[in-house]
Amino acid sequence: MTAFQEMGQSLRSVASQISQVFFATIHNSFALLGLAVLFATITLVARPDLRQAGEAQLMGWLQGRQIETVGIEAEPVAVERATAAHPHQLPKQQAAVAYWLSKKYRVAPEPLSALVVEAYEVGRRTDIDPLLLLSVMAIESSFNPFAQSPVGAQGLMQVMTRVHSDKYEAFGGKLAAFDPVANLRVGALVLQEYIRRTGTVEGGLRYYVGAANLPDDGGYAAKVLAEHARLVQVASGRAVPTQTAQPIPVTAPAKPAPAETLVLLNS
């Protein structure tokens, strides 16, 4: 064997040993990594506090990356605060009312759909026609939840917040006047109280607008009842233009039956 052949054999032997050491190292590394993952999993299962802390750190890192990328903090649960519903998921009658009001008052159908659903539920609990509640909102605020009158009436139903502040306590305070659902519920309670006091829907509306001791209400009750008449026709499936050329005959809703014990504010 020549010296050149001996050198080649020696190099092959060295390379073989190096490769064996290399593969053994990789194998051991993967084994150690697997053991580390296994122990980490066992630890996280046995220590929920550590898992929660890790999840919080991971979410914080992801949110930080989100802010760096798009320049705004993501809040996936923000949709839960939105007063909105899909109109196509409503019963046919309610959907028709929501779409008609949306078109007339130039408000998105999704928030109006949520208000229609809530009006039907609140109306059931207070023995008030839900279409009457929607008519009051239409005339009072045109469905603007942030509306405020010169005398301090606020929100969708234009409730006098300072007068009825006690009714907002169940919703966390007077600022709830600007929450559409809370305002609707409180306004319904106020209207229910006035209808009971006067015995008629017209009389309750006069009280509601603050014209109980005035010669007339400036046509307020007539406006509300006219809108109510239109909504009744819409709910029945009739095609009603959003701009009515001639007044629709006004028929007041039937006097509500005595309500049972209110559970509205506890809901």
pLDDT at 244: 54
pLDDT for 187-215, tens place per residue?
999 999 999 999 999 999 999 999 988 99
DSSP class of residue 237 equals T
- Predicted confidence band at 259 (pLDDT cuts at 50, 70, 90)? very low
Closest CA to 140 of 195, 203, 187: 187
> What are the backbone angles phi and psi of residue 160, rounded to the nearest 5°?
-75, 95
pLDDT at 41: 62
pLDDT at 182: 97
For the chain, give the percent of residues with pLDDT over 90.
59
Confirm if 197 and 191 have CB atoms less than 8 A apart: no
With a CB cutoff of 8 Å and minimum separation 6, the contacts of 201 are 132, 195, 225, 252, 253, 255, 256
pLDDT for 86-97, tens place per residue?
999 999 999 999
- Strand partners for 159: 154
> What are the backbone angles phi and psi of residue 9, rounded to the nearest 5°?
-65, -40
pLDDT at 55: 65
Instruction: State pTM to two decimals.
Output: 0.69
Whether 111 shows a pLDDT value over 90: the answer reads: yes
Helices 109-126 and 92-105: crossing angle in degrees, nearest 10, is 120
